[in-house]
Structure 1
């Protein structure tokens, strides 16, 4: 097993564009410990780069449906906010992405201006980068506000982002899943990232970023598990908080998370039997799993680094999983290959991992969708049987 500090590095993640922007501004890495596989630009390289205008775009989803989008705001009156109790009951912003009729709706923004400003302010993004709140908000998502939904019932997949990262960093995965017939709930965990715009229009800053003294990551994952169970309650009970909740098949629910969100996926499945399948994308398990806690399908997808290879940090948790399970690593990937992070950093002109960001997004989308197709829809996907000549970067560890 790795030490606790090493485990924290695997669940700690800088916000979108933050690593590269901070390096460009200061010539050094962030004070917070980034994942060991993060790519660092040099100050000289950044200084030589000409002024540019940032225009980000996520890849189009590959499924037969369009991706509709709607942001909802939920308040859990049963508990005070765990990080700022004085703010009152726990408030959450959730982006719902759903199968929609192509050609309907209007392009959805990547995030609000307040959320974008929070990212840039916290990460001290230099003016010369060409990244502004407006340009970050205007990243092309391939999702559409007000799009007409497809008829029928669809499985629900809940997505939880990395520590310090807003929910939007999993947008490309959300739109892909929606295009293949899933309703997706992207959960923003308030006070845990650079900003989530709440119902009152305010975008509070991160309170637990930079791992303040005494922060227990097990408590963070447990809190996220409560967030997710509450969101599932709100989406599946009779008087739902979402106008399109009739699209959800409440008997087919899955969850995936990146980094700390992956740890939260395991914690949620341990506490909530409604979640029938889970995916941990390059995160530690907080706490470690015990045999019998999860006897449902689980996918572990991570970088091909020593702690996520067979015999590494994930080995005890793999042994504890009791259901259908797969353990995959991706050669050349870094921690942000499984989110929108590397792709947008590349488009902003900063260096990224050896694996091209486009391939990172493509592999993540393909394997996560195949996993949920097989476990929630009962559709056999040969992609999960073993190594594929079309995806030589993906290694099956067991």
Structure 2
């Protein structure tokens, strides 16, 4: 199940690693590369139409959603990365001995770039919306570096915590939901159940952001005709199923996620990009021909499963090496550039030479097809 559970994949990659020589006291996310400052806020959304798939006693499905967006604010309180308790549960839940060298609150010290509850800026219906779905056991904040960068480029970004599918989700009143779904990882249909559940969560969130009674004060800035989705690990695997269920999602990216639920036989004609670490994942080969629209498959040399989140970079800063070939901020830099290029092309219609052929700026990134030897 290592490909399903992000932390299990992390375990596999770190087994032979060693602590770095030294670590700074304050881990940080690199500055966003776009022209806008970034604001962020949190929404608590409740779907009263269904019970929770992992805790049936919970008669409603509660979701925590972080929004990142452009703002004109020059000052403000920097948003926390995670709470100390979330950091503790995430590090402890991994079961990785090497992470014991990190203080329990280590991830909560991470310096972000977004201002909490800053006033959103933009014209009515001017901003594309990107939904981000994290890997199993990892929270929505694991993709903060990517989210901040997209927001700085003029996107609204919605990161979803799929409750009970990660080690810690803080709910209103200080309640902390832990990983109830982890008890089911050995079930034969586990990956498919996670994907199908996320393909319900995402449309619900879209309804709450773009429907007739939106839950966010900046919702009028969102262009409902320009919505896309990206996800990491099983969050990426959930993207094609979500697109098949909801035509509002115009384009999608799978960041290193095995496709436990095959793309439907009818195919997916909307733009799609597969981007991941070198592997022999047969599900990507299996479903390649079912992607019938614009498509790319990119392999990043030196990347590991966590390299498409903040964690490859942050754990290096905290003194733990996963054995990644992408040092310093390189993993985040590459992910940001290629993800932004994809969305700029398909949501804004801006030509992107970066997606046409290999780049000298990013020699780690290989273009491949299932028959290519460099995949």
Please report the TM-score for the alignment, with normalisation by the length of structure 1.
0.86
- Choose 324-333 or 242-251, whichever is displaced more: 242-251
Q: RMSD value over aligned CA atoms? A: 2.1
What is the Cα deviation at residue 129 of structure 1?
Answer: 2.4
> Which whole-Å CA distance do the structure 1 matches of 2:14 and 2:145 have between them?
21
Does the 8 Å CA contact 1:105/1:148 hold for their aligned counterparts?
no
CA deviation after TM superposition for structure 1 residue 41, in Å: 4.3
- Is residue 160–residue 261 contact of structure 1 (8 Å, CA) maintained in 2? yes
- Structure 2: unaligned runs, 5 residues or longer: 370-375
Contact 1:54 1:131 in 2 (8 A): no
Shift of 1:351: 1.0
**1:111 counterpart = 2:111:** no
Q: In structure 2, which of residues 290, 300, 307 is the aligned counterpart of residue 320 of structure 1?
A: 290
**Equivalent residues of 2:10, 2:306 under 8 A apart:** no
Deviations 1:319-370 (A, max 9, x none): 1011111111001111011100101110111113122251111110000000
The 1:315–1:36 alpha-carbon spacing in structure 2 relative to 1, beyond 3 Å, is farther
Q: Deviations over 1:255-282 (max 9, x none)?
A: 0000000011111111111100000000
TM-score (norm 2): 0.91
Among 121, 134, 158, the alignment partner of 1:185 is: 158
Between the aligned partners of 2:197 and 2:264, the Cα distance in structure 1 is 19
Question: What are the residue-to-residue correspondences of 1:115-194 with 2, within 5 Å?
Answer: 115-123=86-94, 129-133=101-105, 135-152=106-123, 153-194=126-167
1:124: Cα distance to partner? Answer: 5.7
Structure 1 counterpart of 2:15: 40
Q: Could you tell me how far 1:318 is from its partner in structure 2?
A: 1.3
Q: Is residue 95 from structure 1 mapped to residue 88 from structure 2 by the alignment?
A: no
CA shift digits 1:3-56 (9 cap, x unpaired):
xxxxx4323211xxxxxxxxxxxxxxxxxx4269723346xx55x978x77421
Gaps of 5+ in 1: 1-7, 15-32
Cα shift at 1:116: 2.2
| Equivalent pair of 2:141/2:159 in contact (CA under 8 Å) | yes
Q: Which residue of structure 2 aligns with residue 342 of structure 1?
A: 312
Q: How does 1:289-368 map to 2 (within 5 A)?
A: 289-307=263-281, 312-352=282-322, 353-368=324-339
Task: Say if 2:199 is the partner of 1:225.
Answer: yes
Task: Render the CA deviation track for 1:86-127: whole Å, top value 9, x for unaligned.
Answer: 122000000000011251332000023332232234246789
Q: Is the counterpart of residue 250 in structure 1 residue 224 in structure 2?
A: yes
Kindly provide the CA deviation profile for residues 159-181 of structure 1, in whole angstroms up to 9, marking residues without a partner as x: 00001101100000000100001
Partner of residue 373, structure 2: none
Is residue 238 of structure 1 aligned with residue 212 of structure 2? Answer: yes
1:219: how far off? 1.0
Aligned to 2:355, which of 371, 376, 384? 384
Deviation at 1:143, TM superposition (A): 1.1
Q: 1:346 to 1:278 in 2, by over 3 A?
A: same
Which residue matches 1:26? none
Moved more, 292-301 or 210-219: 210-219
Alpha-carbon deviation of 1:147?
2.0
Deviation at 1:286, TM superposition (A): 2.6
Q: Which residue of 2 aligns with 1:27?
A: none
